[in-house]
Amino acid sequence: MNSLPHQMHWTERCDMAAAFRWTARLNMHEAVANHFSLSVSEDGSRFLINPAGRHFSRITASSLIENDAHDPTTLQRPDAPDPTAWGLHGSLHRACPHAVCAMHVHSIHATVLASLADSRLPAIDQTTAMFHNRSVVDEHYGGMAFEDEAARCVSLLSDPKITTLIMGNHGVLVIGRTVAETFNRLYYFERAAETYIRALQTGRPLRLLPEAIAEKTAREWDSYPGFADDHLREIRAILEVEAPDYAQ
């Protein structure tokens, strides 16, 4: 018997639902806004995304909807995603097949960073160094991420080395090869942004890492064995006890 559509890619759906739930617990959500997606086809064009109007804390594995990035009628469906979710993630999965998973939030510290005249994240410690030479700032915010604006934004992620888009005046978009890798990166970007902002608040000079050490540390993060997988596995273990309905 063939699986129902909402039962396809079940492991990936559960990983995504866990990431949504944990993002809500960390207060990195934006009520019923913001969106995560995961491509589930070889060419990257078919992807799962959260349904419109659903709070992150209520996302379940089966509630994720599957979309075709090349289907222009998507927003006419009764289960259509949010228009900005479709704009941003549809554009991304059409243009950047290396972006298997994408997570977009307006978390507080990432958005504070995106609101500064200089939104770059300098390498001032081990965590901020994770993003050294791996992030880019969008300096030209043009309104909500409907299709034209979204296509402009995702063009900044064409280089596979760039994993984090600091969306000036907006928030952050993080991409990765798996749900675990992407969520881990999202979590640590928020931590890194908080460290940098708190350091600025002291008014004291920053201790910047030399270029060679910052790049070396970033490469070490890139290849750190099992780190992201362990993080998501532990999140799912906690949810299995405290909120097992995420995997329904």
Q: In this predicted model, what pLDDT tens digit does every residue of 33-55 receive, in sequence order?
A: 999 999 999 899 999 999 999 99
pLDDT at 3: 56
- Strand 171-176's sheet: what is its strand order? 65-68, 46-49, 35-39, 101-105, 171-176, 164-167, 135-138
Percentage of the chain modeled with pLDDT above 90: 95
Q: Above 50 in pLDDT, residue 194?
A: yes
pLDDT at 8: 84
CA angle 242, 247, 248 (to 5 degrees): 115
Please state, in angstroms and rounded to a whole number, the distance separating the CA atoms of residues 55 and 59: 7
Q: In this predicted model, what pLDDT tens digit does every residue of 131-147 receive, in sequence order?
A: 999 999 999 999 998 88
pLDDT band at 169 (very low <50, low <70, confident <90, very high): very high
CATH assignment of the domain containing 20:
3.40.225.10
Please state, in angstroms and rounded to a whole number, the distance separating the CA atoms of residues 24 and 132: 27
Strand (E) or helix (H) holding 49: strand 46-49
pLDDT at 211: 98
Average pLDDT over residues 121-125: 98
Mean pLDDT over the full length of the chain? 96
Please state, in angstroms and rounded to a whole number, the distance separating the CA atoms of residues 239 and 226: 20
pLDDT at 7: 72
Tokens of 206: 């920053």
Tally of domains in the chain: 1
Q: Above 70 in pLDDT, residue 30?
A: yes
pLDDT at 4: 60
Let me know: does 114 contact 62? Beta carbons within 8 Å.
Answer: no
DSSP state of 90: I
Q: Above 80 in pLDDT, residue 226?
A: yes
Q: Above 90 in pLDDT, residue 129?
A: yes
The label of the residue with tokens 């299709």 reads: 147
Average pLDDT over residues 87-112: 97
pLDDT at 1: 38
Q: Which domain holds residue 58?
A: 5-247
Strand (E) or helix (H) holding 198: helix 179-201
pTM: 0.95
Percentage of the chain modeled with pLDDT above 70: 98
Alpha-carbon separation of residue 144 from 83, 84, 170 (angstroms)? 10, 7, 9
